[in-house]
A and B are shown apart, each in its own frame.
Chain A
Amino acid sequence: MIEPTAASVVPTTDPSTYLPAQPMPVGDLTEQMLATDFWTDELVAAAGIPIVDVPFVTVGSGIGSFVTVDYLRIAGVPTSQMRVLGTLDHPWQTYEYLTRVSQIPRTERLRSDSASRPDNIWGFPSYGLAEGIRHFDLKVLWGLFTEPIFSDYYTPKAGAAFEGMEREKNRIGYDEMLVKGLVRIVRRRYGGGYFTILTPPEGASATKRVAFRSQYVHLAVGYPGLKFLPELQRYRTEHNDYRHIVNAYESHEHVYERLMQQPSTVMVRGGGIVAARVLQRLMDDRLLRGAQTNIVHLFRTYYHGPNDGYGNDEDPRPGGGKTRIFMRRRGENGWAYQGFNYPKSVWGGQLKKQVRGLEGEQRAELYKRMGGTNTPWRKLWQKQMNQGRREGWYRCVVGTVDDMQPNGERIVNHVRTAQGVVPIEVDFVIDCTGLEADIAEHRLLKDLLEHGGASRNPSGRLNVDRNFELIGTRSGNGAMYASGATTLGGYFPGVDTFLGLQVAAQEIYLDLNKRKFCKRIGPVRSTIQWWKWLFGSKP
């Protein structure tokens, strides 16, 4: 404050001395906007939100956005026609985080097919062929030839996937299209198209929000979130213990560090790829680095032979009885074995065709039958597990946890098994069950379900058509598409994978081609574009 009796006035930057702010639009969402399903241009302008015109926006800025704009760039769309909205600096940022904490650093191999290349729409040369030729690695080439009969499926190193995407990102001018910020809402525009409301980072724009007015919107926002098992979450909050109970998808390196220092017992929960990776880390630490860890592996479903998504042969399934001779996979020692997260042909063969033709309950039934938690059979890992069983430091328990109680630094799990409730005391619990949150936990998706005309499919996710258009959201001459994990359960399974994102991108490109937004990638264009990819020149 300026002292009124002072003889001289010293200018001050104290904001309290400013004139009261004039009432002016602050560029934020208004109550009226939030309550209106279709926005007019005037409504947005009246709120003081600046409007940016661009024909196509993709929301998410992860691998789903990247693969989609990559396809469209190759189909001749210039960077000026598209914007990528999201918070990520580069498309693989979230993916790299999740793979790293779940024990797949850059040098380790993903669970992904050789020809699933998010940086190459043709999948040729495949990761395996490129690796085999570049390093003249005959073992890799032999593996590609004999997989999956005489060798494990080839899978690329995480680092190779990220480096490839970086190269492709630069080639297609991805950064020119990227606008950073959090997308708060997408609403249909009166007269056609959509408004996508972005909240840019603090200080990046004069207003709190910026509106993108576009004819097409693509959503690839990824997993709405990961959930803990309810009993684990309860224990964590009640006992304020976030150190001993961890989720595999959160950073939990401190657990491995402690295990190196002190002989301990760890409970691993889950029977999927993440459990397999975490177990391998625990076993590597024990066998190669001298940790004295004992492992208790808790399965909910224990597979001991041929199985399908309903379980073992004796488990109940519609129509009763055993697995079908044409529809069963291998299993033993608790695990169901499968190369990738779906039977391979969902990405282009028989099962893809079959699911595409099914509706409602029939579709859900087939999803169920080919689903179920599973993991790839890997030679090295089998060897370690067998050693662990033989030497008694790896034990399996089948059941569910009724209750968890602290006992000093340790945790007592009351496990309900077929033989009754058994207390199991451990030092750490690593949750590898990978429960996913409901799509309504995502604010943008919740709004689309309530105000955007979107609906849920039989699996509870976003209901998309065969061309990945979000059913019920059409707006005049505009269309909204969605791909990735949020669309699981639709006419195409395997959406939440590298190849799934490419399958979706191809369908979206084909639809946009019909709408004259992009060129057709016919044999000539495709071949020319492939050579450009090979030499790293702009599409």
Chain B
Amino acid sequence: MLPTLNGRLQTRIFMLVVFGGIITFLITPVLPDGAPGVPGFDGTFYRITYVILATVLVLGILWELLYHLIQQFRWEKDWPTMFGLITILNEGALVWLLLELGLVPGMPDGFYDYDLPSSFFWAFFVDFTVIWIVIWLWTNGPMRVPLVKWRFFGGRIV
């Protein structure tokens, strides 16, 4: 990837809204809920997963500013493929920390009343990882197929 700052932000928003939105819709019903047997499903789960997605998006814009700064130290002004994947660690950890501290707004009533159960950690882990990897794979190749200008304009979509 050879992103410009504008391209980074556009790609981030596009990917999270489109792929994040679709995958969240599909994956939420099958995330582990801690109950025995087939995962059950509750409409409030959607609220939780979409709030997390929105959190990743908002924080991601700040992260992109930092990544852009780091990129300035690179002579090539590129963003190696690997960086796009390993940033899952810092971004995932921050979101989880904010959840632990009860600082993510918009969660259903009572969400922060007790300690978060371990099943919720695994639900978060699966949700976050799947979305991240799909977006990473798509950004590093297939995205160039529908949008033939995207790669030559720093990842800008418009």
Q: Residues of A with Cβ closer than 8 Å to B?
A: 115, 121-126, 129, 144-150, 325-330, 338-339, 343-345, 347-353, 503, 506, 521, 523-524, 526-527, 530
Contacts and interface: CB of A to CB of B under 8 A. Distances in A.
B78 A349 contact: yes
A166 B80 CA distance: 31
Given A145-B81, A350-B2, A523 B147 contact: yes
Given A345-B2, A347-B2, A348-B152, A527 B80 contact: no
A527 B146 CA distance: 5
B148 A350 contact: no
A225 B75 CA distance: 31
Contact of A506 (B4, B78, B85, B152): B152
A125 B71 CA distance: 25
Interface string B114-158: 000000000000000000000000000110111111011110000
A109 to B, nearest CB: 19
Given A145-B82, A348-B2, A123 B73 contact: no
**Which 8 A-B pairs have CB atoms at the shortest separation, nearest pair first?**
A349-B2, A345-B77, A523-B146, A344-B76, A329-B75, A350-B77, A348-B2, A344-B78
A64 to B, nearest CB: 17
A134 to B, nearest CB: 15
Interface string B66-89: 000001110111101110010000
Contacts of B145: 122, 124, 526-527, 530
A123 B76 CA distance: 19
A521 B76 contact: no
Contact of A124 (B4, B72, B144): B144
A352 B144 contact: no
A146 B76 CA distance: 16
Contacts of A503: 152
B51 to A, nearest CB: 30
Given A349-B7, A353-B154, A527-B145, 6 more contacts: A122-B148, A145-B85, A150-B82, A330-B75, A349-B78, A526-B146
Kindly name the residue among A326, A328, A348, A353 whose own CB sees the greatest number of chain B CB atoms within 10 A: A348
Interface residues of B, number: 28
B113 to A, nearest CB: 43
Contacts of B77: 343-345, 349-351
Contacts of A327: 75
A124 B141 CA distance: 6
Given A344-B78, A347-B2, A325 B148 contact: no
22 contacts: A115-B144, A124-B141, A125-B141, A145-B82, A147-B80, A148-B80, A149-B80, A149-B82, A343-B77, A345-B2, A345-B78, A348-B151, A348-B154, A349-B7, A349-B77, A350-B3, A353-B4, A526-B146, A526-B147, A526-B148, A527-B146, A530-B145
B72 A343 contact: no
Contacts of A145: 81-82, 85
A420 to B, nearest CB: 35
B80 A350 contact: no
Interface in B20-40: none
Contacts of B154: 348-350, 352-353
Kindly name the residue among B77, B80, B142, B148 whose own CB sees the greatest number of chain A CB atoms within 10 A: B148
Given A122-B144, A523-B147, A526-B146, A328 B2 contact: no
B78 A521 contact: no
A121 B2 contact: no
Interface in B85-107: 85
B4 A326 contact: no
A15 to B, nearest CB: 58
A121 B149 CA distance: 10
A422 B157 CA distance: 59
Contacts of B82: 145-147, 149-150
Contacts of B4: 349-350, 353
A147 B85 CA distance: 13
Nearest to A502: B152
Nearest to A122: B144
Contacts of A329: 75
A340 to B, nearest CB: 8
A326 B81 contact: no
Contacts of A351: 77
Interface in B36-69: none
Contacts of A530: 145
A349 B148 contact: no
A16 B73 CA distance: 78
B79 to A, nearest CB: 8
